[in-house]
């Protein structure tokens, strides 16, 4: 079940999940968690049997949903939670966005590609690190 956990972003359980979606540095995790405290971005969590198995942080501006963070516990990866969080979020949001955008690295780009995102290389955005812009156009049936 997907639920709004924006106000819980500083809790240890949430920060541990966010750590999987940022550079593994305690300061980066703190910045990510505290970014949700301003109210500009939202953070949803996916719970199953009382356990928080995934988080998705996002912004919605006009007709675009931008994924800021998405993470699933390692032991639950490959079970459809990441895709499910994106789809459930699209069903819940009113008004519905026309597109979903994410930026990622080489390690995660196949996740987005496999669920239907178009993937565009941004080159080396950081020294030695290729980044990718992933775009998904929401179809009428998903609205």
Neighbours of 29 (CB within 10 A): 20
Q: pLDDT (tens digit, 9 = 90+) per residue, 62-85?
A: 899 999 999 999 999 999 999 999
% of residues, the chain, pLDDT over 90: 76
Q: pLDDT (tens digit, 9 = 90+) per residue, 13-34?
A: 999 999 999 877 889 999 999 9
Neighbours of 8 (CB within 10 A): 17
Q: Where are the domains of the chain?
A: 1-135
pLDDT of residue 109: 94
pLDDT of residue 140: 67
Which pLDDT band, with edges at 50, 70 and 90, does 12 fall under?
A: very high
Q: How far is CA 127 from CA 22, 25, 130, in A?
A: 16, 17, 8
- Domain over 1-135 is classified CATH 3.40.630.40: no
């Amino acid at each position: 079940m997907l639920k709004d956990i924006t106000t819980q972003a500083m809790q240890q359980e949430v920060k541990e999940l966010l750590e999987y979606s940022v550079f593994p540095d305690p300061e980066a995790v703190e910045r990510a968690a505290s970014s949700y405290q301003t109210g500009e971005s939202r953070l949803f969590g996916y719970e199953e049997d009382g356990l928080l198995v995934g988080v998705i942080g996002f912004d919605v501006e006009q007709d675009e949903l931008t994924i800021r963070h998405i993470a699933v516990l390692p032991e639950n990866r490959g079970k459809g939670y990441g895709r499910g969080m994106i789809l459930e979020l699209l069903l819940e949001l009113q008004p519905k966005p026309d597109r979903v955008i994410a930026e990622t690295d080489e390690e995660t780009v196949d996740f987005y590609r496999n669920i239907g995102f178009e993937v565009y290389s941004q080159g080396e955005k950081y020294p030695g690190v290729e980044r990718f812009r992933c775009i998904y156009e929401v179809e009428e049936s998903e609205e």
